[in-house]
Amino acid sequence: MAHAVKDLFPEVKIGIGPAIEEGFYYDFEKPEPFTPEDLEKIEKRMKDIIKKGNPFTRKILRKEEAIELFKRAGESYKVELINEIADDYVSIYEEGSFIDLCRGPHIPDTSKIKAYKLLSIAGAYWKGDEKNKMLQRIYGISFDSEEALNRHLHFLEEVKKRDHRRLGKELGLFSMSEEIGAGLILWLPNGAIIRKIIEDFWRDEHIKADYKILYTPHIAKLELWKKSGHVEFYSENMYSPMDIDGVAYELKPMNCPFHINVYQSELRSYREFPLRYAELGTVYRYERSGVLHGLLRVRGFTQDDAHIFCREDQIEEEILNILNFTIFILKKFGFDKYDIYLSTRPEKFVGSLENWEKATNALKRALELKHLSYEIDPGEGVFYGPKIDIKIKDALNRSWQCSTIQVDFNIPERFNLTYRGHDGHEYRPIMIHRALMGSLERFFGILIEHYGGAFPLWLSPTQVIVMTIAERHNEFAQEINKILKDSGFRVLADLRNEKIGYKIREATLKKVPYMIIIGDREVARKTITVRKRNGENVEAINIFDFINILKGELTN
């Protein structure tokens, strides 16, 4: 691809072009933006290069030689990269008239390339640093057959159809505003209804599971975050402190220090354990503008957070309880496939090696007792402890990080947490951090894409629309509407003087699960005709029989 770009646009300077999980990309410095028509030209030129069967030839050069070579070619980005390489020698590859800096290896020659497609153009800062120049990045994909390529292109079309940003706008779920700020979400009425349903379900199930629900502030003194270790280990994700009456305060990036303060509000006894605190707490974390992405990467989000204080001998049982609870919650939302990872000690950490070993082993044993297969993710634990991460699979088999369970021996020490044991002595509690859905915003984005906006009945903001064929049917439609509302369903009445086909199309686009159509026959017989959003029609039935069908669907 880079060879084709240089042939067509000789003035272009080339940056970095790696293979990635979803294909490949290359970054270019070009005065004018690439256009979709340019991509077509580049693809055509690539085809010509492939036909030639040019071999990929590897050469080893001294750094000085390589620098001189790329200086002569005017490739300043390559010169910069070579200067950063510690070795005395570097490898380059030649392919026809094109030369590039690369470690390799490569296929023998260009004729081995069977099927490819250039997908998109995006901006990208050189080396990912927003202080550097903005380059143009061309993304592409390659497969060993046209059939495999076409399957992937079909998959990408399905991804595009399910994009939560598009569906969020079409279905009135959420929006963002430059006036308010990047990465900050406005929940629109339909999205707010779904959020309420999720939150109500979450709180009810936590109360059943013996959690105590908390609410905590959005800011706290900077000293609290120093004591917790966040300033030392997490400062790049925190906002600048604000001055209030001469005291520095900080927007909270996490909820844990608040829950610790609730724990410290009373003297604690071993009889209270395990002590489980849960909160839907809104936190604020700095994300670079380049990585913000709809609901999936934001700056302000609500975390379904919980912290459990327990004795050391209760750790395994609590982790097992959390694993069971997590699987139950995820299944309720339609996720029954997932990958599990056990993340171990990172390079920067707090606490003793002995405690890290204890915590890691406790997580391992719980997974094994539950007969859950998992992979070790070395060095990916948080600074205060190891963790279990659960990545759910959506309808397109894509993985999403959601649930996390983290054992923490360290923060209880930093805050000098204690409890009175059965022998009257003071002991240190163990703290377990856990989130089941993660961020509500992100989880909602995943839900939108998983269902393609066609939410199951229990989550749909509008469950039924009652629509009339003519104005003379309005009175009976309003009776039906009232019966459904009184039975606890979310229902709307469409009594507009519009053609019934138009009303059906509009309700289908809004992905409403059920449409009730009222005409002369329905009024005369005191029945309803029901149409599902997939186009399937239900025979004329009594409204109360239909309510029983709805209730049955809700309990499944």
* Residues recognised as catalytic: 256, 285, 303, 305, 307, 387, 433
Q: Is 127 exposed, middle or buried (0-12, 13-18, 19+ CB in 10 A)?
A: middle
For residues 546 and 484, give the distance between their C-alpha atoms in angstroms, rounded to a whole number: 10
What CA dihedral angle connects 221, 224, 226 and 231, to 10 degrees? -70
Q: How many CB atoms are closer than 10 A to CB 292?
A: 15
Integer Cα distance of 405 and 201 in angstroms: 21
**DSSP assignments along 62-115, one per residue:** EHHHHHHHHHHTT-HHHHHHHHT--SSEEEEEEETTEEEE------SBGGG--E
E strand segments, 231-366: 242-244, 247-251, 275-284, 300-310, 338-343
Cα–Cα distance measured from residue 231 to residue 527, given in angstroms and rounded to the nearest whole number: 65
13-14 and 23-29 strand pairing = antiparallel
CA distances from 356 to 325, 410, 431 (A): 25, 9, 13
Here the tokens at position 115 are 């099927």
Q: How far apart are CA 92 and CA 65, in angstroms?
A: 11
Question: Helix and strand tally (H, E) in the chain?
Answer: 18, 28
Contact 459, 447 (CB under 8 A): yes
354 token code pair:
């002995």
CB neighbours of residue 136 within 10 Å: 20
- Is residue 60 within 8 Å of residue 89, measured between CB atoms? yes
Amino acid letter at 295? L
Cα 301 to the center of its chain, rounded Å: 12
Structure tokens at 96: 């026809």
Q: Which of 485, 543, 487, 491 is nearest to 513 (CA)?
A: 491
CA separation for the pair 353, 387 (Å, rounded): 15
Rounded to whole angstroms, the maximal C-alpha distance in the chain is 92
Cβ 101 vs Cβ 82: under 8 Å: yes
Residue with tokens 């490569």: 106
Question: CA-to-CA distance for 260 and 252, rounded, in angstroms?
Answer: 14
Question: What whole-number distance in Å separates Cα of residue 431 and Cα of residue 412?
Answer: 7
* 3-state SS, residue 522: helix
